Chain A
Amino acid sequence: DADVTQTPRNRITKTGKRIMLECSQTKGHDRMYWYRQDPGLGLRLIYYSFDVKDINKGEISDGYSVSRQAQAKFSLSLESAIPNQTALYFCATSESGQISYNEQFFGPGTRLTVL
């Protein structure tokens, strides 16, 4: 399902570098999310956006920033990458409207390694 795409799929970078992960969706959803997953653990929410002008911090936003360039695009930036940000990153989308019903559609993930 290519409705939610993430680029790059894999990235190796060095400590201190700035890196951007991009997410695009063709589902027409207003809501977008960024999660990270560490080995053996569940996903943790980094940031979420309910529309283009709405950005909210999630559970673990320190060290990250986001940009919602358009309804279809939501980028995650690591301003100065550190090794403990090595993880699998997922983007997700969901419809707005029924605030209590939140089926999310996930992208394929970006595997980030910070050396």
Chain B
Amino acid sequence: DAKTTQPPSMDCAEGRAANLPCNHSTISGNEYVYWYRQIHSQGPQYIIHGLKNNETNEMASLIITEDRKSSTLILPHATLRDTAVYYCIVDDYKLSFGAGTTVTVRA
């Protein structure tokens, strides 16, 4: 059973911020929110994770709502190379990938 809900697809203009939503209303207190992406058919790549607080790294920012029932991944300046399937995952020690959001960055 999927623990997360994501839109199937979204487009983004190159250079603009991409905001990827994820709902995880059944998340439990010790479960992290992870984001991975998969470019074409390559192995998925870790982007970021968080528990309660907002997080930022060199790739993206993660905003988690106070009730932890949803989150948003922000790619601050999308490039064509960010075109990929983005997976939002909630789990404690093993990852369950849903269908993800196919993000297409357009020039």
Chain A interface (Cβ < 8 Å from any Cβ of B): 4, 33, 35, 37, 40-45, 48, 58-59, 88, 90, 92, 99-109, 111
Contact = CB atoms under 8 A, between A and B. Distances in A.
Contacts, number: 62
A48 B94 CA distance: 9
A102 B96 contact: no
A103 B49 contact: yes
Interface string B83-105: 00001000111111111100000
Interface of B: 30-32, 34, 36, 41-46, 49, 51, 87, 91-100
Contact of A101 (B42, B43, B49): B49
Chain B interface SS verdict (over half): loop
B97 to A, nearest CB: 3
Given A42-B100, A92-B43, A100 B95 contact: no
A100 B49 CA distance: 11
Nearest first, the 8 closest Cβ-Cβ pairs linking A and B are A106-B43, A42-B97, A43-B97, A103-B46, A42-B98, A106-B44, A42-B99, A100-B30
